[in-house]
Structure 1
């Protein structure tokens, strides 16, 4: 099971990096094409979709490797048991928010399935809105792993993740 999770994490990091890189390439291509008098409007639309997916996936990659920004000046001065308690409370609040995002996000994806994405016929807006609940589900798994590590007294590994 750990091997499968490790493969999923690597694939997630690769897809997030690829989407963000492809987004930049599409924006650049659209700008060059517009400068040459042959605008490619679909590049901006596709880049918007890739941006949504790439950012949410990258958030999970950062959360998993404990690379999110945090301000621990006050908490670091507290006793160890209180620090763990505050960390668990913080994770509980994160879980509540992620559960809300999952439920509301899947509802939004369902409701927006009829709407076309940026006027492109045949492409549903749900492809973009599904990024929120899907990645919130991945963030929920990561948060549960953080809680399990905190409960056991372990520290989540803080390491850089190779994306591409």
Structure 2
């Protein structure tokens, strides 16, 4: 396994663990908050913390999707384009995405400096710069994920493959296998 593949796998596992942790934490908070509210003893911080948790889950989940090249895009459009145009479309797409997230990272960091003196309303010991740190961190991670997955995406693009077609074919194979098992 190449160094790039190892780094890719390590980052994938790290993001999977982080997103599962965030999902479990958010689920626990919501269930506990509902339970306490039913007993007439609501958490004052629930709404604020749950919305931040959902934002973190969304941002880090998007990083995982970027690493797996499962984020929104138009791979079918690129793979069906004439061979002479594919590379240009791919490069323009990658430059656009990476440039966008560079802007998000830059301005996300600027926002942290502005929010450095503010805190959560219901939990004043937690600064907004901590809760909003997800923006520049996940933007940099998104760029890293794009760069790490780019060689594989480049090879697929050159061969005319796309992730949508591969997923559809895998789902059809699985459905055919399930049908055979069901009939047997």
Same fold (TM over 0.5): yes
Superposed CA RMSD: 2.5
The reply to whether residue 97 of structure 1 matches residue 82 of structure 2 is: no
- Mind listing any 5+ residue stretches in structure 1 that lack a counterpart? none
Structure 2 SS opposite 1:41: coil
By how many angstroms is 1:114 displaced? 0.7
Alignment correspondent of 1:29: 32
Larger RCO (CA within 8 A; separation ≥ 6): 1
> TM-score scaled to structure 1, two decimals?
0.83
By how many angstroms is 1:55 displaced? 1.1
Alignment correspondent of 2:137: 134
Alignment correspondent of 2:156: 155
Structure 2 SS opposite 1:117: coil
* Structure number with larger C-alpha Rg: 2
- Mind listing any 5+ residue stretches in structure 2 that lack a counterpart? 168-184
Q: Tell me, in whole angstroms, the C-alpha distance in 2 between the residues paired with 1:81 and 1:16.
A: 39
Q: Tell me, in whole angstroms, the C-alpha distance in 2 between the residues paired with 1:99 and 1:59.
A: 15
Question: 1 or 2, which has the higher strand percentage?
Answer: 1
How many aligned positions are there? Answer: 158
2:91 alignment partner, one of 88, 106, 114: 88
By how many angstroms is 1:17 displaced? 1.8
Q: Tell me, in whole angstroms, the C-alpha distance in 2 between the residues paired with 1:73 and 1:144.
A: 20
Alignment correspondent of 1:145: 148
The reply to whether residue 122 of structure 1 matches residue 125 of structure 2 is: yes
